[in-house]
Amino acid sequence: MQFIKSDINIDFVGKRKIAFFISLSMILISVASLIIHRGPRYGIDFAGGTLIQVKFQAPVDIDRIKSGLSSVSLGASSVQQFGDPADNEFLVRTDKTEAAEQGFALTLSKALKTATDSQAEIRRVEMVGPQVGQDLRKKALFAMFFALLFITIYISGRFELKWILSGVMAGALMTAVYLLSLFNVSMPFLILAALVVTLILFWLLSLRYAMGAIVALIHDVIITVGIFSIFDKEFTLPIIAALLTIIGYSLNDTIIVYDRIRENLRKYQKQSLGFIINRSVNETLSRTILTSLTTLFVVLSLLVLGGGIIHDFAFAMMVGVLVGTYSSIYVASPILIAWQERDNRP
């Protein structure tokens, strides 16, 4: 069986302007949504607060639950149906952190029972104090930062075979970040600054493959975060894990196309770069589609059957796989051409 014919020759490179336009508008929409929503919506892992998962024996009305909550002074909390509607499960979120107080769970389940006439089972309580939330946020950002740093070092060394240069670059990057941290810059800006420094360094040192890979990766993460923001989903620790996995996955795709480009550069020395890139993308297209398909399917089965707790994680992975596949075809490779055009200009 074969989905993609071996002699396939789609003109990906020729449509790069359209792809560029699509990517740019998706990024702009993502950024706009983040601005409108005033940054990402942090879950209790990062913002602090309490999350309570309650299961009722019979169907209940959300308003009833709310009135039960206000009788234990949790009136300001948000109540949301959770998982399959037939499960009668609800998530209660509040920024209060008193739920950890002794005897609270008992009081709450009693109050809910009185308000809804249905036995309430408290299945999960997650309370994160404000200080812990701040610590976790810092930790997550550190994780993102170090993942980016190590991946940058690896791909600049591996693609360009300039390990010493990549070592120097890592040093420069660390120094820049260290200097910035002396000024007490907040962590998101630090990461942003680190990315800008990385891109400038790649540009100056002419590490074009590395640059293409990093641009594709930033593209994927921004759009995934943007779609999360558009759907008003929460950022939690597992979502950070999903984002890092997406980074790994997106690079995986990009690396495979790049490897083929470098192989073909040796093979067809007389052809134009545009031809070589297009041929390489076409040659690896079958593999790209197949792997995305199998990954997408398992992620979908996790999304549909995995239950409420893992739902958002699977959603992030699904978006990431789709965007990552797109970017390895339409973003990472055409950037190499843009580079060449820059070099050819007088």
Residues 303-332 that bind another protein (CB under 8 A): 304-307, 309-310, 313-314, 317
Q: How far is the CB of 132 from another protein (least distance, A)?
A: 5
Residues in 144-183 that interact with another protein by CB under 8 A = 146-147, 150-151, 154-155, 158
Q: Is 297 in the site for another protein (CB under 8 A)?
A: yes
Q: Is 237 in the site for another protein (CB under 8 A)?
A: yes
Residues in 3-62 that interact with another protein by CB under 8 A = 6, 53
What does the angle CA 305 – CA 308 – CA 310 come to, to the nearest 5 degrees?
Answer: 80
Q: Is 265 in the site for another protein (CB under 8 A)?
A: no
Residues in 79-118 that interact with another protein by CB under 8 A = 99-100, 102-106
Interhelix angle for 163-182 vs 130-160, to 10°? 150
Q: Which is nearer to another protein, 25 or 57 (CB)?
A: 57
Q: Which of 9, 175, 186, 252 binds another protein (CB under 8 A)?
A: 252
Q: Is 294 in the site for another protein (CB under 8 A)?
A: yes
Residue 32 corresponds to which amino acid? Answer: A
Distance between CA 254 and CA 250 in Å, rounded?
A: 6
Give the CA dihedral 217, 221, 223, 228, nearest 10 degrees.
160
What does the angle CA 337 – CA 335 – CA 26 come to, to the nearest 5 degrees?
Answer: 140
Give the CA dihedral 242, 134, 81, 113, nearest 10 degrees.
140
Q: How far is the CB of 334 from another protein (least distance, A)?
A: 20
Q: Which of 29, 199, 302, 322 binds another protein (CB under 8 A)?
A: 302
Give the CA dihedral 131, 137, 142, 147, nearest 10 degrees.
150
**Among the candidate windows 160-168, 191-199, 221-229, 281-289, which touches another protein by CB under 8 A?**
281-289
Distance between CA 42 and CA 48 in Å, rounded?
A: 9
Q: How far is the CB of 332 from another protein (least distance, A)?
A: 13
Residues in 174-233 that interact with another protein by CB under 8 A = none
Distance between CA 262 and CA 277 in Å, rounded?
A: 9
What does the angle CA 214 – CA 215 – CA 216 come to, to the nearest 5 degrees?
Answer: 90
Q: Which is nearer to another protein, 20 or 308 (CB)?
A: 308
The structure tokens 């950070």 sit at: 240
Q: Which is nearer to another protein, 20 or 154 (CB)?
A: 154
Q: Which of 125, 165, 230, 265 binds another protein (CB under 8 A)?
A: 125
Q: Which is nearer to another protein, 15 or 139 (CB)?
A: 139
